């Protein structure tokens, strides 16, 4: 507050207490992510091992076996069904997304009452250059990725055709 004296008169001027200014408001809504599984993970045909063995299908679709000693596990080469799981994703162009794979719990595939565990899931996006593991980029609004894993066998594994499923999810970062 200020007081002025002008030719014998006093006047009181009040300072401004409130200032108002507009602020812009906006939002960008990105398109929904759409994930389609093109083919499933397939370990192919494998002979029953004499001991513990791990059969891995890598993200590039190659298959390998890790076994200690003479477990006599054979990967049948005439089997053309070996494949990494393959996904196509669409969403907002240029955005980065995260991929969630089975992690803390094993995936179990079954044949009747018999079961085998699948572990150590891996993923590779075609547009992941320079991004951290389990991430991809929607170049032109599209990306593709493949998932591999390890099948855990033992001498107790029973012959049969084993099937099951696992979940993969994606979210925008």
Q: Across residues 113-121, what is the average pLDDT?
A: 95
Domain over 30-172 is classified CATH 1.25.40:
no
The answer on pLDDT for 21 being more than 70 is yes
pTM, two decimal places: 0.82
**Over residues 90-103, mean pLDDT:** 93
Percent of the chain past pLDDT 90, that is, above it, reads: 65
Q: Could you tell me the CA-to-CA distances from 68 to 65, 102, 106, 138, 157 in Å, in that order?
A: 10, 26, 22, 42, 16
User: Which pLDDT belongs to residue 69?
Assistant: 60
- Quick one: which of 40, 49, 61 has its CA closest to 159? 49
pLDDT(142) > 80? yes
pLDDT band at 91 (very low <50, low <70, confident <90, very high): very high
Question: Using one digit for the tens of pLDDT, what is the confidence trace for 45-79?
Answer: 998 898 899 999 999 999 999 876 666 778 887 76
Confidence of residue 144 (pLDDT cuts 50, 70, 90): very high
pLDDT of residue 31: 93
């Amino acid at each position: 507050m200020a007081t002025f004296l002008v030719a014998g008169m006093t006047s009181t001027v009040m300072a401004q207490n409130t200032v108002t200014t507009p602020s812009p408001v906006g939002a960008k809504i990105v398109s929904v992510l759409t994930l389609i599984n093109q083919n499933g993970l397939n370990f192919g045909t494998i002979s029953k091992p004499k001991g513990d063995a791990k059969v891995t299908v890598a993200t590039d679709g190659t298959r390998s076996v890790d076994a200690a000693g003479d477990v006599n596990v054979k990967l049948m080469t005439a089997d053309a069904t070996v494949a990494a799981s393959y996904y196509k994703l669409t969403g907002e162009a240029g955005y980065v997304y995260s991929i969630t794979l089975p992690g803390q719990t094993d995936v179990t595939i079954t044949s009747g009452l018999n079961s085998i565990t699948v572990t150590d899931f891996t993923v590779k996006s075609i547009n992941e250059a320079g991004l951290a593991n389990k991430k991809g980029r929607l170049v032109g609004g599209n990306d593709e990725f493949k998932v591999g894993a390890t099948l855990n066998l033992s001498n107790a594994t029973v012959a049969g055709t084993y099937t099951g499923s696992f979940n993969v999810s994606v979210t925008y970062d």
